[in-house]
Amino acid sequence: MDEKMMFKNICNLSNSEIAQRYTFLGEGLCREVYSINDDYVVKVAKLDDGSYQNRVENHVYTHATKDLLKYLCPIVWFKPNRIIMRRAIPLSSLIKDKYIDLKTIRPEKESYADLNKLTNNFMLLADDIISTSSWGIYNNENVLIDYGCTSYLGDTLYTLFYNW
């Protein structure tokens, strides 16, 4: 079976079928995350808010400019209540601090400005972007694995514009 077929099939499973078949990795307020294999995870929306976060995350991934895309863990499949993402090593499994240092999380000299631009352009929740739990290591680089949470203003505007 090719990967596209596999992603499609997984996204059509119910929440309980996913929970039975795959290993639970972790959860936030709105989504449960399961490992599909060594390469991919599936994020399952728990409540209505979970699909909102999936929609935002996919919007950010599909609308980020090339200079910002490199900070994002790639999304390979999307349905509002499912996201299939590349599997990363959660930074929280290696670092116990609650927050990362936005100035040193990436080696590029423009990364601090880029990450602020990403946060502002997409109205993401700044506190989430500096949370250790939102970062992982993918392809030997630190990338955001959770970029679906918006600021109070973002919540209002995305809902207004997109009706999410």
Ligand X SMILES: Nc1ncnc2c1ncn2[C@@H]1O[C@H](COP(=O)(O)OP(=O)(O)O)[C@@H](O)[C@H]1O
Contacts by 127-134, CB closer than 8 A, 24 or more apart: 129/102, 130/99, 130/100, 130/102, 131/98, 131/99, 131/100, 132/91, 132/92, 132/95, 132/97, 132/98, 132/99, 132/100, 133/28, 133/90, 133/91, 133/92
* Binding to Mg ion in span 105-164, by CB under 5 A: 146
Shortest spacing between CB 56 and ligand X, in angstroms: 10
* Binding to Mg ion in span 19-58, by CB under 5 A: 28
Does residue number 55 form part of the binding site for ligand X (CB under 6 A)?
A: no
Nearer to Mg ion, 31 or 106 (CB): 31
Does residue number 33 form part of the binding site for ligand X (CB under 6 A)?
A: yes
Contact 71, 118 (CB under 8 A): yes
* Binding to ligand X in span 99-118, by CB under 6 A: none
65-95 in b/e form (b: 16+ CB < 10 A) is eeebeebbbebebbbebbbbbbbbebbbeee
Number of residues located near ligand X, criterion CB under 6 A: 21
Shortest spacing between CB 150 and Mg ion, in angstroms: 13
Does residue number 53 form part of the binding site for ligand X (CB under 6 A)?
A: yes
Does residue number 31 form part of the binding site for ligand X (CB under 6 A)?
A: yes
Does residue number 73 form part of the binding site for ligand X (CB under 6 A)?
A: yes
Locus of tokens 């990364």:
111
Binding site for ligand X (CB under 6 A): 25-31, 33, 41, 43, 53, 73, 85, 87-88, 90, 133, 136, 145-146, 148
Binding site for Mg ion (CB under 5 A): 28, 146
